[in-house]
Each structure stands twice: as C-alpha cells, then as structure tokens.
Amino acid sequence: MHLRDLDPNQPAEIEFVAQRMRDTLIEVEGAERGAALYTQTWLEARVRWHLDPANTIARVVLAVTEDNTPCGHTIFRIEHDTRGAFGLISTTYVLPAFRRHGVAQTLLECAETWFTGHKLPRCCTWTSSTNHPLIALYARNGYEEADRGPNDLTDTMMVQLSKALRRL
C-alpha cells in the first residue's frame, strides 16, 4: 500500500471518495439516516471543492494497493479560527478489508506531515462520539477531546479531537 494524491481528472476516483464519505455516515449514523444526509452528487461536488485552490488549500489523498486500487482516503485542509490557521482532517475512510493494517495510521501521518510543512501550530478533526475506532486511533497519536456539541443535522453528539503540532 502507498499513498498518492487523487487525480482530479479521474471521475472514478472522485466517486470512490464520495462513496466512502457516504459509507462513513452510514457506519456512524446508521443506514437510513447516514444515506439520507447528502446525495452522491453533493458529496462528489464536495470532493471537487477540496481540489480547487480557489476554495481552499487542501489535499485529497488515496491509499492504494500495489495494483493502484484505492483502499482508503483522507481529505485535509487549512482552516482559520479566532486563534489563527490550523489543520483540519475532514474525512478519513479505509475499506473494511484493509482495516487494522496501518492504513488509517499512514493517512493520519500524511496529514500531520503536511500540516507541519505548512507550519500550522495545531490540527484537529470532528467525529461522532460513537466513532470509537477513529477516536482510539487519534488518542494513540496524542489527540485529546477539545470540544463537543450536537450535530445540527442529526442530533448526534460530535467531538473535536485536537493536537498541538511540533515545529520543524
């Protein structure tokens, strides 16, 4: 397995990431609610939004097998709040057959390295409080709960996991 940036000229890769975003919602929110939150078209547009530098400074990274078949992805970008710029990991997903093989860890390390290269002082992600595998991964990597609140769309309790980054 290795990582590479999504090819914006490959609609199948955009569709793969969008479908995995939907799969995440289904795993966390349940089949009915998760599938109803966003259309596939909206999710594909959201992936494309991250690929346009006019919108944001971001990367969409695929984990691929030796034959270049995608087995996971992550999307991360630079955000700003009252404390300044920070890194946000907006989504990560690994196909079930590839879980517990270090794919998510490698994707997380890729994002952190990119954030550090951009001299960002901290990074975070938001996830459902029921997403125990992701919360455990982030905790093993030094993230702590920094905020909590309901998701306005689903009433699910969301947690923000945050970490200070070391300067190069």
- Our measurement of the distance from residue 101's CA atom to the centroid of its chain's CA atoms, rounded to an integer in Å, reads 18
CA separation for the pair 122, 87 (Å, rounded): 6
Q: How far apart are CA 147 and CA 160, in angstroms?
A: 5
- CA angle at 143 for the pair 117 and 93, rounded to the nearest 5°: 80
Alpha-carbon span 138 to 147, nearest angstrom:
14
pTM confidence score: 0.93
Confidence at residue 168, expressed as pLDDT on a 0 to 100 scale: 57
pLDDT in tens, 51-69: 999 999 999 999 999 999 9
Half-sphere exposure of 136 (CA within 13 A, CB side): 5
Predicted confidence band of residue 33 (pLDDT cuts 50, 70, 90) = confident
Query: Rounded CA gap, 74 and 107, in Å?
Result: 6
Q: 3.40.630.30, 3.30.200.20, 3.90.1150.10, 3.40.190.150: which CATH number matches 2-164?
A: 3.40.630.30
Task: Judge whether 59 and 67 are in contact, CB under 8 Å.
Answer: no
- Phi and psi at residue 65, to the nearest 5°: -75, 175
Each residue of 65-90: pLDDT tens digit? Answer: 999 999 999 999 999 999 999 999 99
